[in-house]
Amino acid sequence: MYTLYYGRGTASLAIHAALKEIGAPYQLVEVDIEAGQQRSPEYLRINPQGKVPALIIDGKPFTESAALMMMLAERHPQSNLAPPAASLARAEWYELIMMLANSLGNNFRLWFYPADLAGTKEDSALRSAIQQRIESTWAMLDARLADNGPYLLGESFSGADLMLTMYMRWSRNMARPATAWPALQKYADMMRAHPSWRHITQVEALTGW
Ligand SMILES: N[C@@H](CCC(=O)N[C@@H](CS)C(=O)NCC(=O)O)C(=O)O
């Protein structure tokens, strides 16, 4: 039994969907980010960084969404989260997971929590630089999907698609959201209809998309 500590619509989204894909038993514990529950002494014992997600595996807490995706893929080789271990497709999958986490995850963290870096929420030069970095990643991914879709690995769905869909959703209120790129718009329509994504949207009562 896995236990996922999640916040609605946050970096736990992809892991929530991955658990649904696997079909293994799991329970959810909501951490209310708006209410600051991530900084409660109880939660800090689970993740001293005070962030979600945290996943309890065999009684031990683990964090970092990209790492959790890799752990789940490894523990459930029959699932569709990743191509077979040691294959070239698996190597490409690792590359994708890390690229998404570095190019999108880190920049979105600064977008939503600019005080992490600048000590202020008012630094417009920083925000504009982050926005440009995120947009250049959308452009690169749009070209990739237009050339070799419909999924990141071509014909096969994988957990990398759950990561990308999560990050794309976070851009929905930006001046140029991911869906401003045509292949990404098509991809978003496909992924929003994907069963595990629809499931978590309902469970987390997400609006928008
Ligand atoms: N690199 C981490 C980032 C986790 C993260 O920043 N989570 C945010 C929600 S998306 C959070 O917990 N924010 C609460 C806070 O920092 O106070 C991951 O991918 O798991």
Same domain flag for 92 and 76: no
Task: Examine residue 54 and state whether it is found in any structural domain, yes or no.
Answer: yes
Is the CB–ligand 1 distance for residue 53 below 6 Å? Answer: yes
Same domain flag for 150 and 178: yes
* 122 pLDDT higher than 90: no
pLDDT of residue 118: 66
* DSSP string covering 92-146: HHHHHHHHHIIIIIHHHHHHH-THHHHS-S--HHHHHHHHHHHHHHHHHHHHHHH
- For atom 16 of ligand 1, the residue with the nearest CA is 51
Residues 55/15, Cβ–Cβ less than 8 Å: yes
Task: Examine residue 208 and state whether it is found in any structural domain, yes or no.
Answer: no
Same domain flag for 38 and 62: yes
The number of beta carbons lying within 10 Å of the beta carbon of residue 86 is 7
Same domain flag for 160 and 71: no
Q: Are strands 2-6 and 26-30 parallel, antiparallel or unpaired?
A: parallel
What is the whole-number distance in angstroms between the Cα of residue 91 and the centre of ligand 1? 26
Report the domain count for the chain.
Answer: 2
Same domain flag for 66 and 94: no
Task: Examine residue 209 and state whether it is found in any structural domain, yes or no.
Answer: no
Is the CB–ligand 1 distance for residue 165 below 6 Å? Answer: no
Query: What contacts 24+ positions apart, CB below 8 Å, involve 20-25?
Result: 20/195, 20/196, 20/199, 20/200, 21/79, 21/80, 21/81, 21/159, 21/162, 21/196, 22/72, 22/76, 22/79, 22/81, 23/79, 24/76, 25/1
CATH number at residue 19: 3.40.30.10
Q: pLDDT for 127-171, tens place per residue?
A: 999 999 999 999 999 999 999 999 999 999 999 999 999 999 999
Task: Examine residue 159 and state whether it is found in any structural domain, yes or no.
Answer: yes
| Residues of the domain holding 71 | 2-80+199-203
* Percent share of the chain, pLDDT over 90: 92
* 83 pLDDT higher than 90: yes
* 84 pLDDT higher than 80: yes
Closest ligand 1 atom, CA of 68? 20
